[in-house]
Amino acid sequence: MNFLELMREDIQAVLDKDPAAHSALEVVLTSPGLHALWMHRLEHRLWKAGFRLLARVIAHWTRMFTGVEIHPGATIGRRVVIDHGMGVVIGETAEVGNDVLIFHGVALGGTGFGRGKRHPTVGNNVLIGTGAKILGPITIGDGARIGANSVVLENIPPDSTAVGAPARVIRRKSPV
């Protein structure tokens, strides 16, 4: 898929997931989360190509203009929507799946200074509520929902809802 097709897909994802978005033009002109994701794609390519300082400098400027900080080393899937992106932080070894909805103030952060995998892996079709903190090399399963202001320190199973500080699973989808 070329970059233009990805951009169209991203715009449609915002229109699908944000009831306040009324047109593609509005989304393109006013969505800082979308701008941050588009810039991240460039930064990530530079990072992988070995231009790490340049990638970090561009990421720094992107954060200043959008309020969203995504480390160039993070892996971000398709159709990710960062709604009201101010204060979102996604760490270097974080992995975010497809069709994820992230609200403002979310952190996908580390818990130590060690090398290697130290940030969360978020599955597909996950919703992360406002102000949630997901910390450490843990996994959020596909279809999970993380409540606002939750602090997640342990793996969350697929198709479940977690809330609180520390977060606990309060609901799991029943097997069919």
pLDDT at 112: 80
Q: Which of 10-24, 61-75, 139-153, 161-175 has the lowest mean pLDDT?
A: 161-175
- Domain total in the chain: 1
pLDDT at 175: 58
DSSP 79: S
- CA distances in angstroms from 144 to 90, 108, 175, listed in the order given: 18, 15, 15
Q: Phi, psi at residue 38, to the nearest 5°?
A: -60, -45
pLDDT (tens digit per residue) in 66-78:
999 999 999 999 9
DSSP 92: T
Amino acid at residue number 12 = Q
> Does residue 149 register a pLDDT over 90?
yes
Q: Contact, 122 vs 137, CB < 8 A?
A: no
Confidence bin at 23 (pLDDT 50/70/90) = very high
Catalytic positions, written as ranges: 104
**The CATH number of the domain where 108 resides is what?**
2.160.10.10
Residue ranges making up the domain that contains 128: 3-172
Q: Contact, 86 vs 113, CB < 8 A?
A: no
CA distance 142 to 160: 9
CA distance 121 to 112: 16
> Does residue 39 register a pLDDT over 90?
yes
> Does residue 176 register a pLDDT over 60?
no
- CA distances in angstroms from 36 to 64, 111, 170, listed in the order given: 10, 24, 32
